[in-house]
Amino acid sequence: MATVKEKDYSQYFQPPSYADAKKRGKEDIKVHYDFSIPEEMQRLGAGKKYLIRTYGCQMNEHDSETMKGMFEAMGYEPTEDKQEADVILLNTCAIRENAEDKVFGELGHLKTLKTQKPNLVLGVCGCMSQEEGVVNRIMTKHQFVDLIFGTHNIHRLPKLLQEAYFGKEMVVEVWSKEGDIVENLPKKREGMKAWVNIMYGCDKFCTYCIVPYTRGKERSRRHEDVIAEVRELARQGFKEVTLLGQNVNAYGKDFEDIRYTFADLMRDIQKIDIPRIRFTTSHPRDFDDHLIEVLANRGNMVEHIHLPVQSGNTDILKKMSRKYSREHYLELVAKIKRAIPDVVLTTDIIVGFPGETDEQFEDTMSLVREVRYDSAFTFIYSPREGTPAAAMLDDIPEQLKKERLLRLNDLLAEIGREANEKLRGQTVEVLVEGESKTNPDVLSGRTRTNKLVHFPGPKSLIGKFVQVKITEPMTWFIKGELAAESAPAAANM
């Protein structure tokens, strides 16, 4: 079992500091193309199994794909049964307090397993590991954990595992400095959809957000490396690619040798034979006319844009340091809708931000009515230690926050149902992803606009594009049946 000795860990991590992080300079970020698993480690996992539990966003999911690729390059086999796992990693999220609560709850459950299996390697990685308070809590209250590492040094997993196996102390390696960009990392992707990182980190410093501290400053991958990866995914037969970044619209702004923007990247990827290209997440401040023009060309660029607004009130947006006003956001929405009339917009909204008045919340409600989002991720404000908002007076009663969230969700459900109702009787293209979670005789998939569709059909359609006639729109999904042009092909499979 891991033990912790009195030791100076300050070289590995530092607490999130708004002031220090805002002083980020133009330090040189190197791109490495020489990653490989050392030969002596390629059998490290022979006869062993690994399990990764992932919490949080698509970026965390993609990080887990990379770690799975490294595990299997070392000879490990995957398992979903923690009882038979030799290594368990919790890949964590730090966006909200309840995400951290889930991880610490899971650590509590795993303590018994660790006692039963002393040779089990138990690790915590991801965004939570970039917070000094979290690392201190693990080192003092969860000393059975063997390994802690952060978001900037995932490529060091093989070496860190080796240290955890052969060392007698908890292995802690969390870099406060942003990591370099490491290309050619192995990845284990499953299904017909793939995520591709185009950049790392964020420089926006919204006052409520921990991401600039846990993910570091913005670092864009070279466009030729992104394009090469997408081309390889096309060659492998993937049907859909989602480009990932904390703020994809800022892609390329850190390049000093060339001028190459996110719109330029999208234009070049538009030429690759991948049926669907998505991206997330975009920031309204950086969503420019050139990008709108590229997206309006359609092709493999889907008609769905996730455009986080967070609040409909300009004063609250200013307190959040979102750096745009309500009016600017609505003007951007109008531009997008003029260029792409059938666009589906989704968003993120926070209610109960410190000091939010009833009138300011009503501004959010009125903006939702005006934009008419098809869906949204909605949250009650959650303070994150180390961010400026955590020092603001949180003077809104919890019950009032819950009431606002309920009202907002009711409005979104009403608008979403109305939007889905417009599809009744229409035939839409669906990428079939698998069986319904509740009925094996029903397939589920998504439209170009990311709407979830359930319809009866043979399992041979999984991974294919089919035409589905919408018969019963619901609030959060829609039901349909195979259209005539897809049914004959399905019958012959």
Report the pLDDT value the prediction gives residue 469, as an integer from 0 to 100: 97
Report the pLDDT value the prediction gives residue 6, as an integer from 0 to 100: 42
What does the mean pLDDT of the chain come to?
91
Q: What is the mean pLDDT of residues 24-47?
A: 85
Q: Quick check: do 28-173 and 183-421 share a fold?
A: no
Report the pLDDT value the prediction gives residue 108, as an integer from 0 to 100: 92
pLDDT band at 27 (very low <50, low <70, confident <90, very high): low
Report the pLDDT value the prediction gives residue 318, as an integer from 0 to 100: 98
pLDDT band at 131 (very low <50, low <70, confident <90, very high): confident
| Dihedral angle of Cα 21, 22, 23, 28, to the nearest 10 degrees | 70
**Long-range CB contact pairs, 338-344, < 8 A, 24+:** 339/292, 339/293, 339/295, 339/296, 340/292, 340/295, 340/296, 340/303, 342/303, 342/449, 343/303, 343/304, 343/305, 343/449, 344/303, 344/304, 344/305, 344/374, 344/419, 344/449, 344/450, 344/451
pLDDT higher than threshold 70 for residue 115: yes
Q: What is the mean pLDDT of residues 290-318?
A: 97
Q: Specify the CATH number of the domain 183-421.
A: 3.80.30.20
Q: Which CATH class is domain 427-491?
A: mainly beta
pLDDT higher than threshold 80 for residue 17: no
Q: What is the mean pLDDT of residues 437-447?
A: 93
pLDDT tens digits for range 57-90: 888 999 999 999 999 999 999 999 999 999 999 9
Report the pLDDT value the prediction gives residue 87, as an integer from 0 to 100: 97
pLDDT higher than threshold 60 for residue 245: yes
Q: Specify the CATH number of the domain 28-173.
A: 3.40.50.12160
Q: Where are the domains of the chain?
A: 28-173, 183-421, 427-491
pLDDT higher than threshold 60 for residue 3: no
Report the pLDDT value the prediction gives residue 472, as an integer from 0 to 100: 96
Output the pTM of the full model. 0.90
pLDDT higher than threshold 60 for residue 53: yes
Report the pLDDT value the prediction gives residue 213, as an integer from 0 to 100: 83
**60-75 burial by CB neighbour count: b if 16+ within 10 A, else e?**
bebbbbbbbbbbbbbe
| CB contact at 8 A, 306 and 282 | yes
pLDDT higher than threshold 70 for residue 302: yes
> Which residues, in sequence order, are CB contacts of 175 under 8 Å at separation 6+?
12, 13, 150, 152, 153
Report the pLDDT value the prediction gives residue 73, as an integer from 0 to 100: 96
pLDDT higher than threshold 80 for residue 24: no
pLDDT higher than threshold 90 for residue 152: no
Cα–Cα nearest to 60, from 91, 101, 86: 91
Measured in degrees and rounded to the nearest 5, phi and psi for residue 366 equal: -70, -35
pLDDT higher than threshold 70 for residue 371: yes
